[in-house]
Amino acid sequence: MAVATVPEDEIKKQLEYIDKIKALGQNRKYFIVTLGCKLNEADSESMAGMLEKMGYAPADSFNDANIVIFNTCSIRENAEEKVFGKLGELKNIKAQNNMIICFAGCMSQEPHVIDKIKKSYQLVDIVFGTHNIYKLPELLYRKIVQNEEKRIIDVWDIDGEIYEGIPVKRESKTQASVIIMNGCNNFCSYCIVPYVRGRERSRAPEDIIHEIKELAKDGCKEILLLGQNVNSYNPREGYNFANLLSDIDKIEGINTIKFTSPHPKDFKDDVIDVISKSNKISRVIHLPLQSGSTKILKDMNRGYSKEEYLSLAKRIKEKIPDALFTTDIIVGFPGETEEDFEDTLDVVRQMDYEQVFMFIYSVRKGTRAEKMPNHIPEEIKSERFNRLKTLCDGMTEISMNKYVGTIQKVLVEGESKTNKEVLTGRTPSNKIVNFEGPKDLIGKEIEVKIVSQHVWFLKGEIV
């Protein structure tokens, strides 16, 4: 399946805009507000990479910044409220810093959001979407150099194209996220993603493998493959996600390979086989459930039943006995009965998840679920959410206790955010471990004995 890519001369043009802005030689700073998923975080790394090539340095806060970019998320309503609240905070400092405010990401692809910006947020200078991030240098050139007074809105109502060759600023030297595909074809009834990120587009495997090899040369040890539905990766006839995993597994220097998010309906046996034969691919498999009720799953347009989900998990466990599962669950989807919710609790008990990311259903404009009957009252949604949380918290405590006394291989990520005297890293099962040790261990894999658990992290001692 051939996928359109941004022409090389277009990327070259953007790199020329980068040089022109850098030539201004001003002491300027940027600040990026990133909301949402790992894909948004990866997009922000691309924006930061371009900005730093233009001569901008990262700012510590809004107060120091000459450019502020809101890289937004449209998955949940509270993310929308948060970004507009943050925008309001900038009214008083925009003029002081001669600040340019950019509004980007998934929310910018929604017509009602653009209307709201036009009507109520005159302080926003540039709006661009998920398909043309690579054009950031040109948009800034028009505003900074050409001094375009009119607000620039450059949002494309298309599926977009794959782009390569844009600078990226990685947040970590030891870990990196690598986007393998964009967009989604699933149209889950609660989800706005296919409308804001477009149809599925897979990057060429050669480009992905080249990027990962370069990361390995720079000292990266762990990669996370990203896509809305990585199982659907299909750049050409006869090459799929299992092939890509197998090829990446052969790259020297990379010790750990993770991926998110797979879709249960597309999780094929060839992927299970590749994982089972690899010493690098993580045994922690994110397998989004969303609901344990077959009826609700059908209304969600998920493409599998409760029984099919459990059967898939069983097949994975049979092939990969040490596999661990994490999941996403939505509580209070329209029409969810008490019996439906009990089905969800039943699956959680059977699966014994390592971690559950749980969310209360919120209406997203433009989705099929918005118009469904029998929306659940907020008090019932909250009550069910709390019951699920109580169940999961108890299971988490039991899971964490299993680690005490064991020796774990840990990739040292850096200093703890709460205590600079302590180092932090993660186990192969993605558990956070804090321990004392010299700073020269950062970026290395070491063995740590777990001495205690503290619900959200483990405490260890270097062996």
pLDDT score for 210: 97
Does the pLDDT of residue 79 top 80, yes or no? no
- Whether residue 3 is predicted with pLDDT greater than 70 in this model: the reply is no
Amino acid at 401: N
Q: Evaluate if residue 277 carries a pLDDT over 70.
A: yes
**pLDDT tens digit sequence for 195-207:** 999 999 999 999 9
Specify the pLDDT at position 204.
96
Question: Residue 4 above 80 pLDDT?
Answer: no
> What pLDDT is stored for residue 21 in this prediction?
96
H-helix or E-strand spanning residue 451: strand 445-453
Given the structure tokens 């540039």, which residue do they identify?
126
- Indicate if the pLDDT at residue 380 is higher than 90: yes
Greater model confidence, 263 or 86: 263
Q: Which tokens is 396 given? A: 């988490």
Residues 111-141 pLDDT 10s: 999 999 999 999 999 999 999 999 999 999 9
Distance (Å, whole) CA 193 – CA 186: 9
| Confidence grade of residue 224 (pLDDT, cut at 50, 70, 90) | very high
Separation of alpha carbons 379 and 372, rounded Å: 19
Q: What is the pTM of this model?
A: 0.93
Q: What is the pLDDT of residues 309-354, one digit of tens each?
A: 999 999 999 999 999 999 999 999 999 999 999 999 999 999 999 9
Residue 78 has pLDDT above 90, yes or no: no
Long-range contacts of 22-28 (CB under 8 A, 24+ apart): 22/53, 22/54, 22/55, 24/55, 24/144, 24/145, 25/55, 26/55, 27/57, 28/55, 28/56, 28/57, 28/66, 28/67
Note the pLDDT of residue 88: 84
Continuous segment of H or E residues that includes residue 182: strand 181-182
pLDDT one-digit tens code per residue, 166-179:
999 998 889 999 99
Domains of the chain: 8-154 (3.40.50.12160), 175-399 (3.80.30.20), 407-462 (2.40.50.140)
Mean pLDDT of the residues in the chain = 94
Cα 222 from Cα 334, distance rounded (Å): 39
